[in-house]
Amino acid sequence: MVKTVASDALRNMPLTAACALHLQWINQGISGKCEALVNSVSKLAAMRLLLIALSLFVAPLTTRAQLSGGYGYPAAPASLGNALEGSSASAHRLNAIGSAGLTEPASPAVWSSSALEPSATGSGTSGGGFDHYEIAPAATWRQIPFSRMGIGADISPLGIGLKSAIVLNHYFDARLMGNFFSLDTGRFEINGFNVDAKVHMASAAAALDFYPFGSVFRFSPGVMFYNGNQISATANINPGTDFSFNNKSFYSAKPNPVTGATPLMGVGTFGFHKTQPALTLTTGFGKFIPHSERHWSFPVEFGVALTGSPTVQVVMSGWACEDPFQKKCSNVADLTNPVGASFNNELQTRLNKLRGNLDKVQVYPMFSTSVVYSFNIR
Backbone angles phi, psi at 238, to 5 degrees: -60, 140
- The verdict on 10 and 35 lying in the same domain is yes
CA 187 from centre of chain:
40
For a pLDDT cut of 90, what percent of the chain falls above it? 58
- The verdict on 131 and 254 lying in the same domain is no
| DSSP per position, 294-317 | --EE--EEEEEE---S-EEEEEEE
Taking only the tens place, the pLDDT of each residue in 320-376 is 999 999 999 999 999 999 999 999 999 999 999 999 999 999 999 999 999 999 999
- The verdict on 247 and 364 lying in the same domain is yes
Q: What is the mean pLDDT of residues 195-218?
A: 95
- The verdict on 208 and 104 lying in the same domain is no
d(CA 205, CA 224): 4
d(CA 102, CA 94): 11
Q: What is the mean pLDDT of residues 231-247?
A: 94
Three-state SS at 353: helix
Taking only the tens place, the pLDDT of each residue in 122-172 is 444 444 444 444 544 444 456 789 999 999 999 999 999 999 999 999 899
Instruction: Give the containing element (helix H, strand E) for 7.
Output: helix 2-11
Among 139, 160, 190, identify where a domain stops: 139
Binning pLDDT at 50, 70 and 90, where does residue 45 land?
A: low
CATH code of the domain in which 236 resides: 2.40.160.170
Among 139, 168, 185, identify where a domain stops: 139
- The verdict on 85 and 177 lying in the same domain is no
Sequence-distant (6+) residues with CB within 8 A of 124 are 92, 118, 130
d(CA 236, CA 177): 38
- Cβ neighbourhood burial of 212 (10 Å; 0-12, 13-18, 19+): exposed
pTM of the model: 0.61
- The verdict on 162 and 134 lying in the same domain is no
Instruction: Give the containing element (helix H, strand E) for 21.
Output: helix 15-28
- The verdict on 135 and 152 lying in the same domain is no
The number of distinct structural domains making up the chain is 2
- The verdict on 33 and 50 lying in the same domain is yes
- The verdict on 302 and 177 lying in the same domain is yes
- The verdict on 78 and 217 lying in the same domain is no
Taking only the tens place, the pLDDT of each residue in 165-194 is 999 998 999 999 999 999 999 999 999 999
- The verdict on 23 and 51 lying in the same domain is yes
More confident residue, 13 or 277: 277
Q: Helices (H), strands (E): how many in the chain?
A: 6, 17
Residue 372 · residue 288 · CB < 8 Å: yes
Sequence-distant (6+) residues with CB within 8 A of 70 are 137
Among 139, 156, 174, identify where a domain stops: 139
More confident residue, 77 or 296: 296
Instruction: Say if residue 365 is preceded by a cis peptide, omega within 30 of 0.
Output: no
Q: Is the pLDDT confidence value at 52 over 80?
A: no
- Cβ neighbourhood burial of 97 (10 Å; 0-12, 13-18, 19+): buried
- The verdict on 152 and 58 lying in the same domain is no
Report DSSP state, residue 275: S
Q: Which of 145, 150, 140, 141 is nearest to 167 (CA)?
A: 145
Q: Is the pLDDT confidence value at 105 over 80?
A: no
Residue 373 · residue 296 · CB < 8 Å: yes
- Parent domain of 63: 2-139
Sign of CA dihedral 143, 145, 151, 156: positive
